[in-house]
Structure 1
Amino acid sequence: MGRLGGVATLTVSSVLSKRTPNRAQARMSKAKSAPPPGCTIDINDPQVQEAAIRIQASYRGHRSRKELREKGPPRVLQELKDVVLVEGSAAKLECRVSAFPDPFIVWSKDGKELKDGPKYRYVFEDPDVVALVVRDGELSDLGKYTVKIKNPFGETADSACIIVEVPAKISKGPDSVKVKKGSTVTLKAEISGEPAPDVGWLKDGEDIEEDDRVFYDIGDTATTLTIKNAQPSDAGKYEIFVENNLGVDQSFARVDIL
């Protein structure tokens, strides 16, 4: 009986020791299960609710963009806009598009295709934006630019203008001349500017009053002063000036009557 009782007692004690953790073990278990400080989230906290709304909105936006890219031919979401290009600087035309698979892009100016290179640079800033950079601006860059966007499902196009602004300039001034009395004097200057510059002629610092004998013509790229039946009084210093909102230029010539 003693032996059996001892065995029974040992068995129950062993079972109890396996099933019932001691206080140290309980404290360790509790320590492991408790979250670290600052890791709890109160779903009633307004900041937590606002963050959750932002996450949901971001996901919906991502999903809607993905669905949009998977449907139909290319579309222009934000149109090209006219831009002003100042001589010597660069200008950029850009538009936002929707196209999937990635589209084939072609830029053209006044119907002529533009090749990607030092002068014209094709730019892809992100999957939805296509742009053209025009470098080293000059008056000849003025015109209508078109982007054609094409993928296997179709194509679309959009256009805008580059407006070039060039400071008023005299690229070649008039030459000084010596003529005989009664001859015809012609003074010519080559000019440029966009907007088209105002042009004026002066003699010895005074505005020239035109008549049938002394007058001047103004063209797109040149201006000419004509003096018919030149007289000694026509001798002097002649000045041509050009001006627009971007700049002023002038040049001089001497007329001698023999």
Structure 2
Amino acid sequence: MARRLLGADSAAVFNIQEPEEETANQEYKVSSCEQRLISEIEYRLERSPVDESGDDIQYGDVPVNNGVAPFFEMKLKHYKIFEGMPVTFTCRVTGTPKPKIYWFKDGKQISPKNDHYTIQRDLDGTCSLHTTASTLDDDGNYTIMAANPQGRISCTGRLMVQAVNQRGRSPRSPSSHPHVRRPRSRSRDSGDENEPIQERFFRPHFLQAPGDLTVQEGKLCRMDCKVSGLPTPDLSWQLDGKPIRPDSAHKMLVRENGVHSLIIEPVTSRDAGIYTCIATNRAGQNSFSLELVVAAKEAHKPPVFIEKLQNTGVADGYPVRLECRVSGVPPPQIFWKKENESLTHSTDRVSMHQDNHGYICLLIQGATKEDAGWYTVSAKNEAGIVSCTARLDVYTQWHQQPQSTKPKKVRPSASRYAALSDQGLDIKAAFQPEASPSHLTLNTGLVESEDL
């Protein structure tokens, strides 16, 4: 017969003659931290696509009003076991039409063809996942999700697999003692063997891990992951099997929400390779790997104006366009200024435009005299910056000065030539061939221009 020690996390004591199936299903209560992680796993799975290849249930056109969303009449439980022991997760789910069932371990779907697990489903809706010999790698969170056209629902059971050390029991080996005691926590090196067993450690497992990455040379690369475990695991990073040490270009951060990040800036060709993140605590370790591909850096070219802004004039109330064309690699950012004031956003009347061919335009609908002034456009990229400036004039009206028809009087002197020339008169017709300034005297008096 099995007996149980006193205590919140008491250790069960088993008779070696009892069937292993009975000794395997030892329930325990998860911590609040583990429960938050379980809730996060379920939230993501219920909103993620699943592999339908192993499901033989097909839905036709089922009226929504006649359907019932899946519901768990019995949920999965949490178990502690030793490695090598069997374990079975069981629940019962109902729904109309009959829900499809999917199993996951630590958020990854378990294929029905996986030989390590036996997946069953009974006519009454009872679903089970069984393994005959657990390993340390089976430690983790097991989630079942039921889905039909009316909705999805999931529940999770935690499995903690503990290693058997040399002083622990061996279920198949003979023993002189009638009962076999569960091995003590690794954190306890001494003490009374009859003391209550302390809380066990949780082996690390990753809740979030990045996939393969491709990053352009010179850019920033960020690898984020999230790991659970008790005590809190320590993380280390390797590149092609060699440890990564923090330096000016490689930083390792931990945010308040538990997300660990490896940040590389700037990325160089030497950073390409296979990255491995290893999480370790007293209960064991876990890891994931990814490949980082570094794309060659694009040749940068500073901006240059193919067509510059031109000075422009427009009548009051008419639209006007200030246009130019610029090139550069990578495509430059464009900035506009009027006098010393930056134009940061477009309005219904004044709008800024740019296309993929480098054409840039500032469009003013219904120009006013306040729009007159000097306009500057600047183009900037990683290789440099260039600017050009032009003036916009806004005319309120157009004038044409009338010519005066009043006769002008000129003195018969050398200055008469200049006065007549200003009026556009023919000087040869105005003077006789023999006339010269020496023939003119002051006593001739003033002559009316009509007499010429």
Q: Fold match, TM over 0.5?
A: no
Report the TM-score when normalising by structure 1.
Answer: 0.39
Report the TM-score when normalising by structure 2.
Answer: 0.23
Q: Which structure ranks higher in relative contact order (CA pairs < 8 Å, sequence separation ≥ 6)?
A: 1
